[in-house]
Amino acid sequence: MVLATPFLSLMGCSDASQDLVTLDGKTMGTTYSVKLAGTPRGIDERALAQDIEETLESVNLQMSTYRPDSELSRFNAADEGAWVSTSADTRFVIDAALRVSRLTAGAFDPTVGPIVELWGFGAGHDDPQLPSPEDAAAAREVVGFSKVETRSGDSAVAKQTRGVNLDLSGIAKGFGVDKVAEYLEREGVENYLVEVGGELRSKGVGPGGKPWRVGIERPSGVPGDLQQVIELKGEALATSGNYRIFFEQDGRRYSHIIDPRTGRPVEHSLASATVVAPTTMEADALSTSLLVLGPDAGMKLAVEQDIAAFFITGNGESLSETSSPAFARRFKS
């Protein structure tokens, strides 16, 4: 068993298998792993690894908020009302993020970055703290997906309000996984498992012709403690959780999962949300959305939209699991 993320474990994938090739590295501030079973005869694994790196680097160059030369950074630095040209890929991901924002009535919002930073949960921060009411109010003024404009006919985007920033971290890793999967399929690879920062996409079978098996981690804080093991068959999977990153102040716990609608960390019992979907980009955004919505509203949306979702609620030793009808149909015991 190879631990992939705080939330997922890849199972039944021994790197000693003769028919398994594993390519891994770092990207987007996290790690990636590409497992190939029975690669096509004559394929150049070194060239394959280089192309995967270049594919992920291209996504990073387009959508990173930490690179001043990225397309997203150019948008964030632009003035109010200025139309900023982007690549087709960046516009595709922005459009997808805005669709999920509308679907969830703002529970998913790619403009929430200033609030996340204000609470001290942004990348590079190690001192989360309660913001002042004045600072919180100011941050909320520049948050809201409706403040981002797109236009038909080209890939340009604009902001309606000065200070609005886009942060696609809740969806871009999933898109990166999909881009790698698309590349592998163009190269004739029929059996793969691609993972970037815990977001997964599979096709075909693993070593020995067995399905790719993925373990969903129990939010107990014990590495490798699994709640459930499922088999992926040409599907994508993503899990979001709120139990690892938090701070406590005056006896109260504050999670790093921010509800864009309130500007505050979520306060409910849903510890993790897993989504299985056709694409990793979709699974990535929806798992975050459902976690923000919480156990009741999140499951209501999953049922209404036929989303394959798996929830773990509670904390410590008191945990329970709930599956949406779509998830239960797909993963019958």
148-203 pLDDT, tens digit each:
999 999 999 999 999 999 999 999 999 999 999 999 999 999 999 999 999 999 99
Sheet containing 212-217: which strands, arranged edge to edge?
2-3, 8-11, 212-217, 226-232
Every domain of the chain with CATH number 3.10.520.10 lies at 20-62+170-331
Question: Residues 108, 297: contact at Cβ < 8 Å?
Answer: no
- Residue 226, by phi and psi: left (phi above 0), alpha (psi -120 to 50) or beta? beta
| Residue 213: pLDDT over 90 | yes
pLDDT tens-place string over residues 53-78: 999 999 999 999 889 999 999 999 99
| 79-168 placed in CATH 1.10.10.2160 | no
Binding site, annotated residues? 170, 284, 288
In the chain, CATH 1.10.3980.10 covers: 79-168
Whole-angstrom distance, CA of residue 333 vs CA of residue 324: 14
CB of 33 within 8 A of CB of 4? yes
Q: DSSP for 111-164? A: T-HHHHHHTT-STT-----PPPHHHHHHHHTT--GGGEEE-TTS--EEESSTT-
Spatial contact of 61 and 27, defined as CB atoms under 8 Å apart: no
pLDDT at 12: 42
Residue-level pLDDT at 316? 65
> Which of residues 104 and 318 earns the better pLDDT score?
104
Q: DSSP letter string over 273-287?
A: EEEEESSHHHHHHHH
- For the chain, the average pLDDT equals 90
Please state, in angstroms and as integers, the Cα–Cα distance from residue 323 to each residue in 63, 288, 304, following that order: 33, 16, 13
Q: Which residue has the higher pLDDT, 153 or 124?
A: 153
Which pLDDT score, from 0 to 100, does residue 223 have? Answer: 74
Residue list, annotated binding site for Mg(2+): 170, 284, 288
Q: How far is residue 64 from each of residues 18, 75, 162, measured CA to CA in Å?
A: 37, 11, 20
Kindly state the tokens that stand for 145: 């997906």
Local confidence band at 250 (pLDDT 50, 70, 90 cut-offs): confident
The domain made up of 20-62+170-331 has a fold known as: T-fold (3.10.520)
pLDDT at residue 333 above 70? no
Per DSSP, the residues of 200-238 read: EEEES--GGGPPEEEEEEPTTS-TT-EEEEEEESS-EEE
Mean pLDDT of 277-304: 98
Amino acid present at 296:
D
pLDDT of residue 317: 72
C-alpha span between 224 and 41 (Å, rounded): 35
